[in-house]
Amino acid sequence: MKAAFTDLHRGHDPKRFVLRGKFAQGEERPERADRLTAGLQAGNHTLHPAEIFGQGPRLGVHTVDYLRFLEEAAAEWKLLADASDEVLGNVHPVRRGGTMPLSLTGRAGWYMQDMACGIGPETWIAASSATDVAVTAAEFVIEGERAAYALCRPPGHHAYRDMAGGHCFINNTAVAAQYLRSVHDRVAVLDIDIHHGNGTQAIFYDRPDVLTVSVHADPNRFYPFFWGYAHERGEGAGEGFNLNIPVAQGADNGAYVAAIEHSARTIAAFDPGVLVVALGLDASSDDPFGGAKVTAEGFRQAGAAIARMGLPTLFVQEGGYLSDSLGPNLTAVLGGFEAAA
């Protein structure tokens, strides 16, 4: 299938990630894209450089003030006395109303929900280019391709309308889904990253035109902790248009694929014109986050289950971290899809 990519992600290489109170190098590194590219080549998929669509698609789901913060924060941060080279919030207005302050430290806390989304000098170019990758691949589907793949880095599904978090800044999946709404009355999103797609859920939570479904490890003991529970069903006009299917941490191929198959009935009843798959590969048994124990065969079956939904399908890369099976698992899921499509 056609796969969109860009090399403009490479300068985004965050070095500070707080894990159990310690600073560590983040797992979201440029090498991920190299391994994913190898996975595409192994599956004989064709690589297409992203076209530039500008700010328009991003403004479909994000606020202009938040996008400006992402674009300008790193340069402004450098002017602060004794600052590191990455913007990282450490004071947050959680569960309080609060007022947006003038201080950049304060604004960083306002716009960043955790300490896994440091903004470096090239974060904006990478994150904004990733939406061009997603929209380029969405265009392939609009033009009639049965399926297309977007090699997005950084990932996006933890990003809210105006908040970064969990390695995510701009929600590529949501941007693509909103972009596809210009062509289809109803768009379904199926998130199979092992972390709940909390940003995507929140962006569409009160809307009946975009169904959001997420299969992920039980958030009681897994990021993003506060969202991803089965009782979250949407609100207002969107009530009933969000479905969470948590699986036990350590889920094997059977449990993971069954959860994806379980989502098919809800997606079919919604009758969407197109399906956007938020394709995390971090359910892998080799993934450093240890959320599940899915093998290449499990990913192949997941791809086949998605193909059987019978919809034009856009795959948007989300998580999936460094291991020798990252590339082969991408080959497996796309190959499984094509064999069953």
Near Zn ion by CB under 5 A, which window of 81-89, 252-260, 274-282, 293-301? 274-282
Residue of the chain from 26, 280, 312, 336 that contacts Zn ion (CB under 5 A): 280
Specify whether the CB–CB gap between 177 and 210 falls below 8 A. Answer: yes
Which residue bears the tokens 């079919």?
Answer: 268
Reading the block at residue 337, the tokens are 């899809």
Nearer to Zn ion, 139 or 325 (CB): 325
Active site residue 45: no
Q: How far is the CB of 307 from Zn ion (least distance, A)?
A: 22
288 preceded by cis ω (within 30°)? no
In the complex, the smallest distance separating the C-beta of residue 325 from Zn ion, rounded to whole angstroms, is 15
- Give yes or no for residue 282 binding Zn ion (CB under 5 A): yes
- Which range in 18-26, 207-215, 272-280, 302-310 contacts Zn ion by CB under 5 A? 272-280
* Sequence-ordered strand ranges (E) for the chain: 2-5, 17-19, 22-24, 46-49, 147-150, 187-191, 210-217, 242-247, 274-279, 313-317
**Residue of this chain nearest to Zn ion (CB atom):** 319
Report CA-CA distances (Å) from 55 to 181, 187, 280.
17, 21, 25
Here's the x/- map for Zn ion, 179-218, by CB under 5 A: it reads as --------------x-x-----------------------
82 vs 39: CA distance, rounded Å: 42
Q: Which of 9, 158, 167, 184 is catalytic?
A: 158
What is the distance of C-alpha 277 from the center of its chain? 9
The reply to whether 26 sits near Zn ion by the rule CB under 5 A is no
Comparing CB distances to Zn ion, the nearer of 104 and 296 is 296
- Residue numbers annotated as active site: 158
Q: Which residues lie near Zn ion (CB under 5 A)?
A: 193, 195, 280, 282, 319
